């Protein structure tokens, strides 16, 4: 059985579901395919992470009409404090970098901390009510990219036909492989341990990035006086921490966390994510555009991975909207090259930048410690440079798609 669409999005993670929603809102007949059962995808047990949604990305959710669905569960990030430390239980370096949202002209917070479960549910509700045809659970077995159109073959024998397939099938993207696109990839010797803690004192909307020799330890403010931890640990040491009983794990967290938020209590389970870097050498092939982690998956040190995916979605929706108006073939290389030019350089700079920062900070080498601490202090004192990094954290740099621009 064959069904025809304007665009078929393969992969219903955050990037793919948002793409299907944005494309449907711009008037395209969109299909969204994911191998997982949507009830599993949308459950808390599937993904315990939070996302630091940059303020420019939050504008996309607002304009697509789905921000309100998770607004009550989103904590505004008012400040970001970056400090360097030599180890758990030891005082941090006196040098730091402080981003204050009150310095932003737009008056927005630097971003929002939202539970992935809430984000995913909001985007799925939006996609389904915008007419996206959802095929899930349904695995794409193979895809053909021909002169006249692209075809995705599902495991149950159905075929979805469209001028363009959007590959949102994650960092190991089978579509990327089937299109012959090479990828630069390496593993970090690090695992991210993710957990939620409740604390006695208010966090006041401050996100902390605390660099420890094993990797960054992020404390991200959540609603209801909770914080989400992203504790980057040496890969070899992570399993031992993950197997600790609750009280021993709480003490290990508290050793790194300090006591500035008073007593802390663990809420819910712990998750772990082995970290790796993937950058596709091309973001397009005839009748294929890669978005989200399928295009590049980066270290979570700066909380920018999904934010890059949001910009992919906003840029692609704009380019395809223009192509429809001009009567162009949506899957033609002429159209897709505009998308690649817009997104690949931006991604390259941020992907390599986050990789370099992780290497510079995840060690205890004295001369490097001195250099990076002086660097933190220097950026903090230099107003324009500090504001540049604040806008970078807010996703507000480079050419912004209309969905990400400021309110006029
Ligand atoms: C610890 C950690 C913290 C992070 N924190 C942040 C943050 O604060 N801010 C931020 O911006 N980013 C953050 N990120 C990055 C962010 O989580 C990812 O960039 C984002 O989740 C990627 O979404 P995606 O939709 O591209 O891919 P995925 O979530 O991997 O989705 C891919 C989907 O494709 C489906 N699929 C695969 N193959 C097929 C097939 N053949 N047929 C059908 N379906 C298929 C899968 O089932 C899956 O649902 C973090 C990452 C980590 C590891």
Residue 132: give the domain boundaries. 2-73+114-185+277-360
Sign of CA pseudo-dihedral 111, 116, 121, 126: positive
Ligand 1 center from residue 293 Cα (angstroms): 6
**Residue nearest to ligand 1 atom 51, measured at CA:** 300
How far apart are the C-alpha atoms of 119 and 16, rounded to whole Å? 13
Note whether residue 330 is domain-resident: yes
Note whether residue 230 is domain-resident: no
Q: Would the CB of 34 count as within 6 Å of ligand 1? A: yes
Ligand 1 center from residue 314 Cα (angstroms): 17
Note whether residue 302 is domain-resident: yes
Note whether residue 263 is domain-resident: no
Q: CA angle 342-348-354, nearest 5°? A: 130
**Residue 137, preceding peptide bond in cis (omega within 30° of 0):** yes
**Residue nearest to ligand 1 atom 49, measured at CA:** 13
Our count of domains for the chain comes to: 1
DSSP 105-162: TT---SEEEEEHHHHHHHHHHHHHHTTPEEE-S--EEEEEE-SS-EEEEETTS-EEEE
Note whether residue 216 is domain-resident: no
| CATH value at residue 294 | 3.50.50.60
pTM: 0.96
**Residue nearest to ligand 1 atom 29, measured at CA:** 13
Ligand 1 atom nearest to CA at 169:
34
Ligand 1 atom nearest to CA at 17:
25
Q: Would the CB of 85 count as within 6 Å of ligand 1? A: no
* Phi, psi for residue 339 in degrees, rounded to 5: -65, -45
Structure tokens at 391: 């806008």
Note whether residue 173 is domain-resident: yes
- Considering only CA atoms, which of 74, 78, 80 is closest in space to residue 102? 78
Q: Would the CB of 33 count as within 6 Å of ligand 1? A: yes
| Bridge partners (DSSP) listed for residue 82 | 97, 209
Per-residue pLDDT of the chain (408 residues; tens, 9 = 90+): 899 999 999 999 999 999 999 999 999 999 999 999 999 999 999 999 999 999 999 999 999 999 999 999 999 999 999 888 766 767 777 777 899 999 888 889 999 999 999 999 999 999 999 999 999 999 999 999 999 999 999 999 999 999 999 999 999 999 999 999 999 999 999 999 999 999 999 999 999 998 888 889 999 999 999 999 999 999 999 999 999 999 999 999 988 878 889 999 999 899 999 999 999 999 999 999 999 999 999 999 888 999 999 999 999 999 999 999 999 999 999 999 999 999 998 888 888 888 888 788 777 777 777 777 777 777 777 777 778 788 888 888 889 999 999 876
Residue 297's SS3 state is strand
Ligand 1 center from residue 141 Cα (angstroms): 19
Structure tokens at 355: 């990789």
What residue spans of 326-363 are helical by DSSP H? 333-361
Q: Would the CB of 230 count as within 6 Å of ligand 1? A: yes
**Residue nearest to ligand 1 atom 37, measured at CA:** 169
Q: Would the CB of 48 count as within 6 Å of ligand 1? A: no
Ligand 1 atom nearest to CA at 230:
1
Which residues are within 8 A (CB) of 209 and not within 5 positions of it... i.e. 6 or more apart?
A: 80, 81, 82, 83, 216, 217, 218, 301
Give the pLDDT of residue 200: 94
Ligand 1 center from residue 274 Cα (angstroms): 13
Note whether residue 135 is domain-resident: yes
Structure tokens at 142: 């193979």
Note whether residue 205 is domain-resident: no
Ligand 1 atom nearest to CA at 171:
30
């Amino acid at each position: 059985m064959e069904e025809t669409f304007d665009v078929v999005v393969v992969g219903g993670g955050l990037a793919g579901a948002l793409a299907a929603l944005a494309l449907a809102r711009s008037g395209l007949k969109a299909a969204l395919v994911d191998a997982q059962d949507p009830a599993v995808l949308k459950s808390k047990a599937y993904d315990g992470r939070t996302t630091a949604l940059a303020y420019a990305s939050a504008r996309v959710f607002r304009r697509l009409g789905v921000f309100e669905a998770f607004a009550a569960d989103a904590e505004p990030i008012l400040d970001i404090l970056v400090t360097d430390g030599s180890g758990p239980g030891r005082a941090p370096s006196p040098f730091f970098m402080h981003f204050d949202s009150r310095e932003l002209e737009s008056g927005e917070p630097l971003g929002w901390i939202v539970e992935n479960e809430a984000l995913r549910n909001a985007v799925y509700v939006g996609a389904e009510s915008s007419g996206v045809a959802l095929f899930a659970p349904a695995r794409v077995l193979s895809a053909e990219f021909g002169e006249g159109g692209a075809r995705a073959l599902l495991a149950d024998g159905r075929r979805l036909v469209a001028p363009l397939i959007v590959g949102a099938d994650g960092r190991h993207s089978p579509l990327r492989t089937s299109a012959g696109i090479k990828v630069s990839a390496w593993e970090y010797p690090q695992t991210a341990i993710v957990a939620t803690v409740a604390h006695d004192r208010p966090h006041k909307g401050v996100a902390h990035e605390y660099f420890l020799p094993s990797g960054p330890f992020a404390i991200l403010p959540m609603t209801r006086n909770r914080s989400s931890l992203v504790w980057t640990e040496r890969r070899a040491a992570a399993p031992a921490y993950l197997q600790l009983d609750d009280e021993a794990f709480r003490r290990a967290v508290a050793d790194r966390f300090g006591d500035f938020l008073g007593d802390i209590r663990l809420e819910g389970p712990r998750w772990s994510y082995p970290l790796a870097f993937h950058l596709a050498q091309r973001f397009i092939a005839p009748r294929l555009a890669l978005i989200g982690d399928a295009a590049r998956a980066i270290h979570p040190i700066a909380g920018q991975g999904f934010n890059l995916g949001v910009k992919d979605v906003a840029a692609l929706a704009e380019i395809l909207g223009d192509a429809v108006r001009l009567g162009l073939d949506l899957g033609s290389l002429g159209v897709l090259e505009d998308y690649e030019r817009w997104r690949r350089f931006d991604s390259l700079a941020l992907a390599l930048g986050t990789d370099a920062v992780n290497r510079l900070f995840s060690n205890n080498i004295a001369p490097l410690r001195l250099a990076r601490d002086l660097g933190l202090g220097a950026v903090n004192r230099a107003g324009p440079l500090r504001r540049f990094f604040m806008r970078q954290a807010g996703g507000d740099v480079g050419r912004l798609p209309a969905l990400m621009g400021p309110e006029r």
